Chain A
């Protein structure tokens, strides 16, 4: 897996893990987690397209 995608995925997991303990701010942790998930997917697709070129 692309290192950048792996980093973003790890960030998404960390933020998701914070959701249950972020009382009152759970939506912030969830939103940031979702953003990192999208970035991980985008980064993985970017790396895959580069490999194919």
Chain B
């Protein structure tokens, strides 16, 4: 394997590592804010379930990223590199602006932008992009609906229970399970996006035949990178996230995380790359909406909508420019 391929694989795994670093907060913020676990133990908990996700889910999302975004003949080391740079740069720009961006959508936009810069709009696979586009809108709405329905079901089942102390204790323990489920879904969906990029790169560089399955070493390295990201950096962001959502009670945490986890499980099995951040935001909004609409932080929800609109075109543009630079240099 030549140096260029190894270098781009390292960049892809770096992208995965940063993803774990940032998104750990989504899965364990409620466990930390309700003091069920300390931040350090919580990140170990999340990292473990990020890693073991490969044992539960297949590689359908990886296959979608590698085969259903752009035609394989246009993929080259330069295109994959420019796509990754587009996604990473867009993530950093939106992080600086405070927009809750989706690394997944940035990756899709980045790969599409780099491919278009190389060979025009004809290389885009409309069907695959349409599927991804539809679920950009649907996944938070599904997370919201499932989170809301779980909240209502919990209220209905326990409304006669007067022992609030005992009930809260039970849901605090339940958060361990729901946070683990969400981390499992996060590991499954997000690590597979990196696997898809590496798979595309290996096919483009001739190391694998078109249509090949994801090799085990790619699966293991992607899950290791996301788990290491969660383990080493997550707890610092969790401190902030945890204090921002203290209004969420243990029962709400269980409902929001379960709603998001169910959405992530279903989309991972269906091979659909979705944003874990948007999905958990939908779940939290669903819990708030079960009480009243004013309980929902609409500012956050509005920023998510902006992230929907901006991420793919933004990453597309950065990757397009990067590809022009790669072409000039080579």
A interface residues (Cβ-Cβ under 8 A, vs B): 3-4, 7, 11, 14-15, 18, 21-25, 28-29, 32, 35-36, 39
Which 10 A-B pairs give the minimum distances between C-beta atoms? A22-B134, A4-B293, A3-B293, A35-B145, A18-B134, A11-B141, A32-B142, A32-B141, A21-B130, A32-B138
Is B165 positioned at the interface, with any CB of A under 8 Å from its CB? Answer: no
Minimum CB–CB distance for A25 against chain B, Å: 7
Mask, B278-304, CB within 8 Å of A = 1, is 000000000001001100000000000
Minimum CB–CB distance for B305 against chain A, Å: 11
Describe A's contact surface by its main secondary structure.
helix
| Total of A-B residue pairs, C-beta within 8 Å | 45
> A32 to chain B: which residues have CB within 8 Å?
138, 141-142, 145
Residue in A4, A24, A25, A29 whose CB lies within 8 Å of B289: A4
Closest to B270 in A: A25
Describe B's contact surface by its main secondary structure.
helix
Closest to B285 in A: A7
Residue in B130, B137, B145, B293 whose CB lies within 8 Å of A14: B137
Mask, B129-164, CB within 8 Å of A = 1, is 011001101100110110011000000000000000
Q: Across the interface, do B148 and A39 meet the contact criterion of CB distance under 8 Å?
A: yes
On whether A28 and B145 interact (CB within 8 A), knowing A3-B293, A4-B293, the answer reads: no
Residue in B134, B148, B292, B293 whose CB lies within 8 Å of A25: B134
Mask, B79-114, CB within 8 Å of A = 1, is 000000000000000000000000000000000000
Q: Across the interface, do B141 and A7 meet the contact criterion of CB distance under 8 Å?
A: no
> A18 to chain B: which residues have CB within 8 Å?
134, 137-138
Minimum CB–CB distance for B156 against chain A, Å: 12
Minimum CB–CB distance for B259 against chain A, Å: 12
> A35 to chain B: which residues have CB within 8 Å?
145, 149
Q: Across the interface, do B130 and A23 meet the contact criterion of CB distance under 8 Å?
A: yes
